Amino acid sequence: MRGMLSRLFNLRRDEVAPVLVASLFFFFILTALMLLRPARDALGMERGIEEVRWLFVGTAVATLLVNPIFGWMVSRFRRLHFISATYAFFALSLVGFWALLLFAPGAVGERSGQVFYVWFSVFNLFVTMVFWALLADRFSSEQGKRFFALIAVGGTLGAIFGPWLASRLAEPLGTPNLLLVAALLLALAIATAWLLVWIRPDRRTGTAEAQLATPQAEEAVRIGGSAWAGFRAVFSSPYLAGIAGFIVIMTVMATFIYFTRLQMVAAAVDDLDARTGLLGSIDMWTQIAVLALQVTLTGHIIKRFGLAFALAALPIATAIGFIGLAIYGSFVVLILLEATNRAVQRGLTRPARETLYTVVGREDKYKAKAFIDTFVYRAGDVIGAQTEGLLGRLGLALGGLVSVVLPLAVVWAALGIWLGRAQQRRTAARSAP
């Protein structure tokens, strides 16, 4: 059994328990997110796709405002306390939205739908960012390369289960009743976060810091520092700035796909609940392609070819997909593009990208990562949304997108290769006596 775990999943026996707990943690988070995402998209489309582009701007501003608050929490509270507070805040917000929809439906309109859209977009980024930050803090760089993709399988299962629930429950029960289920899932995520931290330590690296680290020791020390430390770190570190640039290009590309999908769905159905169900079905089927890559190949690919290859794979796959979409322009090709993009992104690039944070300081794992994975991420969304809208107004459509995508993909791939090599050098430096 130990030989099979080692060969197939790159796991040692003492690593099985924390990997399973982390996978369950991610399952709860992604189920909650994907349960609500179709409702978010359907509500955002109520005033037209052009309005969604401006909601992206509102989301970017909201993430910029929330970052200092999160940085202050990281500085003042212990790790599990600020993680729990983050998830509890979003769970209580869901209960508040549910109460508004149930007891004051007359107050719900287009404006409240826009508020929910922005709130959900902030919620989406922060709950996943906190999860991956805890993993980067909990596991070593070597472990991250071996089994971050395996842990991500839990998220993929949640990403399949959530849309399946949404597509089955949206019309018979109504969209508002999904909110309480998502709040309960976040409560379960808090419980698994505590279990992940307090479970038996299994970090095995050559550094004294990793050898001496215990759950009790780590939780007894507050991270400290300034609430603005994450901002400064990103602009002062070429490594962190490179990660930020990689994410900006990635989100620009994803936004191009997102608005193409919204336009095709808007042309197909008009009813809110029908849109929710259709978007949920698309999400479910596009997630299924991720599983095989995560379970069988990713850990071996990263181990054999390195982070540079894993980070460059998504730019290449995205460029090829956009060329195919520009040639054929059908809904089926769009689904294939999304499936391929998400399979590579979640199954290969995301675990590799999160491994980049295992070689930075503990403060940067939470504060700088929060700034990059929220505001920088949404800034890329805004750039992508406005660029796509401008090309559409100029009448360039998919052909115009391809002319933007191809040169961006070249820069994106080159940046991924540089980051992978830089991470390798940092790992070697941290492991040196």
Most confident by average pLDDT, 34-48, 272-286, 358-372: 358-372
The pLDDT score that the predictor gives to residue 186 is 94
* pLDDT value, residue 193: 94
Report if residue 233 sits inside a domain: yes
Which position has the higher pLDDT, 358 or 146? Answer: 358
**Lowest mean per-residue pLDDT among 74-83, 136-145, 185-194, 216-225:** 216-225
Model confidence at 146, pLDDT cuts 50, 70, 90, reads: confident
pLDDT category of residue 211 using cuts at 50, 70 and 90:
very low
Q: Is 250 exposed, middle or buried (0-12, 13-18, 19+ CB in 10 A)?
A: buried
The residue type of 217 is A
Angle between helix 229-236 and 49-76 (nearest 10): 110
Residues 301-327: tens digit of each pLDDT = 777 778 888 899 999 988 888 888 777
Q: Does some domain include residue 207? A: no
What pLDDT was estimated at residue 168? 79
374's tokens: 């929220």
Confidence tier at 209 by pLDDT (50, 70, 90): very low
Average pLDDT in the 348-357 region? Answer: 90
pLDDT of 405 over the 80 cut = yes
Q: Is residue 270 part of a domain?
A: yes
**Is residue 175 situated within a structural domain?**
yes
Evaluate whether residue 413 is within a structural domain.
Answer: yes
Mean pLDDT of 396-409: 77
Amino acid at 429: A
210 inside domain: no
Which percentage of the chain shows pLDDT scores above 90?
A: 29
Structure confidence by residue, pLDDT tens digits, 148-197:
888 888 888 888 888 788 777 767 777 677 888 899 999 999 999 999 98
Q: Residue 378: which CATH number?
A: 1.20.1250.20
Q: Strand ranges (DSSP E) for 11-143?
A: none
- Is 340 a member of any domain? yes
137 is a domain residue: yes
Q: Among candidates 340, 302, 333, which has minimal Cα distance to 318?
A: 340
Answer yes or no: is pLDDT of 389 > 90: no
The mean-pLDDT minimum among 8-22, 104-118, 271-285, 351-365 falls in 271-285
pTM here is 0.81
The domain of 324 spans 11-199+227-431
Number of structural domains (the chain) is 1
Give the mean model confidence (pLDDT) for residues 276-300: 63
Q: Is the pLDDT of residue 210 over 50?
A: no
Please determine, for residue 371, whether its predicted confidence score (pLDDT) is greater than 90. Answer: yes
Q: How far apart are CA 395 and CA 168, in angstroms?
A: 38
Local structure of 297: helix, strand or coil: helix
